[in-house]
Structure 1
Amino acid sequence: MKKRNKFKHVIYMLVALAMLLYALPQLSFQNGPGWVFGFGVVWCIFAFLVIAAHLHFIIGVDEEKHKQLEAVRRHKLEQWQGKWNEESARASQRS
């Protein structure tokens, strides 16, 4: 992965973490079940999901999977090109 791309994700993760740390004291979790409590829980869950997604990308968990998918794509492209060449060779032999 590009270093700049990872840097961008680090910045986004830090911004999301700062938003979470700023908002936690402002959110009310003491009123018990209700709309305010539900909003606070859902907001925190979304913030944690954003942070986790960026952390997942920064750590590079999917790099090996990405390499395998690229190899499969190249192989499929080679197969498709081979079939295309065979069909065009047959068509030129018929003419």
Structure 2
Amino acid sequence: MNTLKKKSKFKHALYLILALAMLVYALPLISFQPGAGWISLFGAVWAGFAFLVIGAHLHFILGVNEDKQRALDAIRLEKYKEWQEKWLKEGKRGQSL
């Protein structure tokens, strides 16, 4: 599980670097001058989404909600076990018919 977490953090770090690179490349090209109209609006919205992506990856890398993630993983595991038991019971019931 630990290596899986490291792979996941590496993936998020890579995506964070890519998003930062795109933002650094695009911000000087976006025109925020008066009269640009839709171009300025599109540039601002695009930059806003880029900042959201960067923030989401930083949030994951820094592990702000590790306790919450552990709780969600425990719930997911319990649901998986319930699903597996239900599936096995249905499989046995189908064999006896």
TM over 0.5: yes
Q: Structure 2: which 5+ residue stretches go unaligned?
A: 86-97
46, 50, 71: which is aligned to 1:47? 50
Q: Structure 1: which 5+ residue stretches go unaligned?
A: 82-95
Between structure 1 and structure 2, the one with the greater Rg is: 1
Q: Residue deviations 1:37-89, cap 9 Å, x none?
A: 101110100110110111111011232102122334556657xx6xxxxxxxx
73, 79, 96: which is aligned to 1:70? 73
9, 12, 15: which is aligned to 1:9? 12
TM-score, length-scaled by structure 1: 0.70
Query: Size of the alignment, in residue pairs?
Result: 83
Which structure shows the higher helix fraction? Answer: 2
21, 25, 47: which is aligned to 1:22? 25
TM-score, length-scaled by structure 2: 0.69
Where 2:34 maps in the other structure, the secondary structure is: coil
Task: Give the percent of matched residue pairs that are identical in Structure 1 and Structure 2.
Answer: 59
Which segments of structure 1 move beyond 6 Å, counting only runs of 4 or more? none
